[in-house]
Amino acid sequence: MAKWYTQYAKVYDQEVGSVDNDVIEKVRAQVQLSSSSDPIISIVVIAYNEERKLLACLWSLAEQRCHLPMELIVVNNNSTDQTESLLKRLGATYHNELKQGPGFARQCGLDQARGKFMLCVDGDTMYPPSYAETHVKVLDRPEISATFSLWSFLPQTGQSRTFLWFYEGLRDIYLNLQFIKRPELCVRGMVFSFKTELGRKVNFRTDIKRGEDGSMALGLKAYGKIHFIRSPKARAMTGQNTIAADGSLANSFFVRLRKAITSMGGLFSGKKHYQDEESNRIP
């Protein structure tokens, strides 16, 4: 049985020029149909040099099975490749954010969002068909301010799928433990959603290079609970950039295992404030 992401994976990380024009036109038509003039859900994609992966991302978002009207917004974060050309070709609604960094990009999306609910999306990630519906069902509860879900990595040729499954499984266990007292540390921007009105009371930090998602989640705790969605219906599929940064899947496993062990003591106490690392601050 084919996985939900199989068709999107065929164009993932591919040169747009090599993709069949019929596929481009199909995605273009679906992008147009998925955009409402009076949205309840704002799906906000941030993209920095994602010309090879953005098509797969938008295709998956345009095929969401959701009964609520949605808008699809892309924030082109100062890309130097053909990201903007692709967005024009697809007729997507997009905004150029010239200030570099995910905080600036996500804040730009928040400023433009018209829906009651905002779903944060990364341009190198693909989403299952019930992703939006699953998040919003939880977000619509009055005691909930934000939601986040899980993600898997797209398998690479020659890579052990068993070890990748083991890697993800241990990470999920750690996230479940961390969630008990420090849910804000579990949040990743590519699988993070919140009530737009509450998000505007907190806003994304633009003075740090990374962690704008967790910082937003920390602020949202003052307005309601952060809910951990574990359903496979909301489990996204992304590339292996974070793994590649550690050199290999095995290296990444041991790097993250060491970090998990050293931080284990902090899992059992909550925290209201985190000290910024100097290296993470934007001058």
Tell me what the mean pLDDT of segment 119-145 comes to.
98
Q: In this predicted model, what pLDDT tens digit does every residue of 251-279 receive, in sequence order?
A: 888 888 888 788 777 777 888 888 888 99
**What pLDDT score does 1 carry?**
63
**What pLDDT score does 259 carry?**
80
From 136, 124, 144, select the one nearest 43 (Cα to Cα): 136
Domain ranges in the chain are 6-272
Distance, CA of 67 to CA of 157 (rounded, Å): 37
Would you say residue 96 has pLDDT above 70?
yes
> 3-state DSSP call for residue 276?
coil
The 3-state secondary structure of 244-270, one letter per residue? HCCCCHHHHHHHHHHHHHHCHHHHHCC
Tell me what the mean pLDDT of segment 3-28 comes to.
95
The CATH class for the domain spanning 6-272 reads: alpha beta
**What pLDDT score does 126 carry?**
98
Q: Which amino acid is at 100?
A: Q
Alpha-carbon distance values, 123 to 9, 76, 129, 274 (Å): 14, 10, 16, 28
From 146, 134, 47, select the one nearest 90 (Cα to Cα): 47
**What pLDDT score does 281 carry?**
92
What is the arrangement of strands in the sheet containing 125-126, beginning at the earlier edge strand?
A: 125-126, 236-238, 151-153
Residues whose CB falls within 8 Å of the CB of residue 283, separated by 6 or more in sequence, listed in order:
none
Residues whose CB falls within 8 Å of the CB of residue 278, separated by 6 or more in sequence, listed in order:
none
**What pLDDT score does 270 carry?**
83
Is the distance from CB of 157 to CB of 79 less than 8 angstroms?
A: no
Mean pLDDT value across the chain: 94
Through-space distance between the first and last CA atoms of the chain, rounded to whole angstroms: 50
Split at pLDDT 50, 70, 90, the class of 223 is: very high
| pTM (whole model) above 0.85 | yes
Is the distance from CB of 8 to CB of 124 less than 8 angstroms?
A: no
Distance, CA of 179 to CA of 268 (rounded, Å): 10
Would you say residue 148 has pLDDT above 80?
yes
Would you say residue 158 has pLDDT above 80?
yes
From 54, 94, 52, 96, select the one nearest 77 (Cα to Cα): 96
Tokens standing for residue 261: 């062990």
Within 10 A of 217 (CB to CB), how many other CB atoms are there?
25
Distance, CA of 72 to CA of 70 (rounded, Å): 7
Most confident of 80-94, 148-162, 233-247: 80-94
Tell me what the mean pLDDT of segment 209-233 comes to.
97
Tell me what the mean pLDDT of segment 74-90 comes to.
97
Split at pLDDT 50, 70, 90, the class of 114 is: very high
Tokens standing for residue 193: 């959603």
**Alpha-helix runs per DSSP H in the chain:** 6-9, 21-33, 54-62, 83-90, 102-112, 131-139, 161-181, 196-202, 212-220, 241-244, 249-262
pLDDT cut 70: percent of the chain above it: 100
Is the distance from CB of 119 to CB of 132 less than 8 angstroms?
A: yes
**What pLDDT score does 217 carry?**
98
To which residue do tokens 């601050």 refer?
Answer: 281
**What pLDDT score does 205 carry?**
97
Tell me what the mean pLDDT of segment 241-249 comes to.
80
Split at pLDDT 50, 70, 90, the class of 235 is: very high
**What pLDDT score does 55 carry?**
98
Tell me what the mean pLDDT of segment 118-144 comes to.
98
